[in-house]
Structure formats: C-alpha cells, structure tokens
Amino acid sequence: MKADKLVKRARELAAPFRVTSGQNFRLKDCDPGNTLEFDTKDKERAKEALAQGVQALSALQDKLYAQDQWAVLLIFQAMDAAGKDGAIKHVMSGVNPQGCEVHSFKAPTSEELDHDFLWRCSKRVPERGRIGIFNRSYYEETLVVRVHPEILGKQKIPRSLLTKNIWSQRFEDIRAFERYLARNGVLVCKFFLNVSKAEQKKRFLARIDTPEKNWKFSTADSHERQFWNDYQQAYEETIRQTATEEAPWYVVPADNKWFTRVVVAAAVIDALDSLRLGYPQVGPGQRAELAAAKKELLAEK
C-alpha cells in the first residue's frame, strides 16, 4: 500500500477509539471485543495490516529522529493481562532502538516516595527526536491509588493536603503537565487497553496451565479482580477528566490481541503523521560543503 493511503487507513482505524473530550465518555459504551470490520477468523489480514503499519512507523520514526524537534510519549495503562507488553513489543518491533525507550513504573520505591508524584515520570520524558513509552505511569495515581486509598497514607504527603479534593487536584495537575509537554513539543498519546473481566480470567487460567507462562502469573493480580468494578470506575473517571485534544486517550478493545496491536500501531502512525515530519532541509552553505566533500572524496588516490 502507498504511504499516503496507509496513513489514511491508519487514521480510519484509530479514529473510532480516540477520545479527545471526556464529556460524553462512558466506558460501558466501549466493547472490549470490538474488531471493526475484521472478522475473528481474519487474523491473517490483520497481521498483514500490522506488518505494513510497522514499516510505515519505522519510516516516520526515521524522520522524527533526523528532525530532532518533536518528541513522542506513548503511555500504556490497563488491567493485568490486557496485553500491554505484547502491544509494545509488536508495535515497536520495526523501530530503530536508538530512537526509542521503554520505562516501566511499578509500585514506587522509597526514594520515589520522597518526591512529588510526577517526579519519577517527568525524569523519563523522551528527548527531542525520540519515542518514549511508559508501561504504566503517573496515571496509577488516580487508578490503583484511588481504588486502594490506603496507599495515599504511605505517600508522605502532609496531612493537611490530604483532602477530599485530592483526585480533582491530581486530574488538574496531570492536565497541566500534559499541556506543558505539548507546548514544549512533546506529543502525548495515552492508551487504555480495554480487556473484559471474562477474557482476563481466561488469560490468567492460561498462565496457570501453561508452564512457559507460569512466571507471568501473580496471585496478587488475580486478587485485584475483586476490585474490578472500582477499577472500571476509576478508569472511566480518569479518562473523562484527562482526555484532551493535545493529549488524547485511545480506548483500545483488548479481548483480541491481534486487533489491539493493529489499532495501537494505527494510532501511533496517525499521531506521527500529524506532526508533518520531514528531513532537515539543507541550505546553500551546507550544499556547497557537501559538494566540496564529495570532490575531496572522489579525488582520493
């Protein structure tokens, strides 16, 4: 497929899942099993689409790196076993590792707890020309922390600041942080991989039954299933409060891994294309330098 057609196709694939304003967003309207016009028996066609997408991504990343002005931050959030790791691995498989970095954020260390909640992530915002991926992020602060508010008590925040406004304050601070990044040339895209409770159960059972997958299983993860509805509510509220034009959320159906990957790749292509990237232009002075260097090289004995 030609590059411009591919970008158009990517835009069409990503658009239904893009949320830029929270006002009318309801998680219950998002079907984790949605595969658009792709049939579940149609995996091969989807894989082909992904391979083409990965190629297009690689070309766009090359320009991003050469231009060295914009940075791209991709944030991945999801319930356990929704496929974050696989999506990151497959979608970024064709990009140049020099221009890409992945950071995972687990439960904060004691050093991290000695700082404000954005500190550990803001240190990892990608530099110009790069794609940065956050596997979990500061969004955990309005997700797991909201579902288990006792975590707040361990965050060493002065008591007088722990009021009922803490969540709306966090949303406001996150919006401000992302607007700040946007104004500095960091394009932020956020992905919520939306898996259903039934599919998560299937995947946990597969982790238990398949020896090669045993290492992925944690009893703590399956324990969190008790809080499923609380998490859904926390995700909905978080997306409602932080979906903006400059830093959109993509709520990606995650019950079919092959489809998740196609949509994530499409969204990243669309985002990169929106930057109108191009290779740096060479001025007359530099062109003369190139010509002189060429002459010298050709004159070598």
Positions that interact with ligand ATP (CB under 6 A): 80, 85, 104-108, 135-136, 140-141, 144-145, 151, 218
Residue 136 binds: one of Mg ion, ligand ATP, none (C-beta under 5 to 8 A by kind): ligand ATP
Looking at the Cβ atoms of 215 and 279, the one nearer to Mg ion is 215
**Region 78-107 residues binding Mg ion, contact defined as CB under 5 A:** 80
Stretch that binds Mg ion, among 45-53, 75-83, 101-109, 143-151 (CB under 5 A): 75-83
Number of residues that bind Mg ion (CB under 5 A): 1
Looking at the Cβ atoms of 90 and 136, the one nearer to ligand ATP is 136
Q: How far is the CB of 294 from Mg ion (least distance, A)?
A: 55
Please give the C-alpha separations between residue 145 and each of 28, 51, 149, 160, in angstroms, as whole numbers: 22, 37, 5, 18
Gap between the Cα atoms of 237 and 247, Å rounded: 16
Gap between the Cα atoms of 86 and 167, Å rounded: 31
Q: How far is the CB of 48 from ligand ATP (least distance, A)?
A: 27
Binding mask 26-65 for Mg ion (x = CB under 5 A): ----------------------------------------
Q: How far is the CB of 151 from ligand ATP (least distance, A)?
A: 5
Q: How far is the CB of 80 from Mg ion (least distance, A)?
A: 5
- Is the CB of residue 71 less than 8 Å from the CB of residue 129? yes
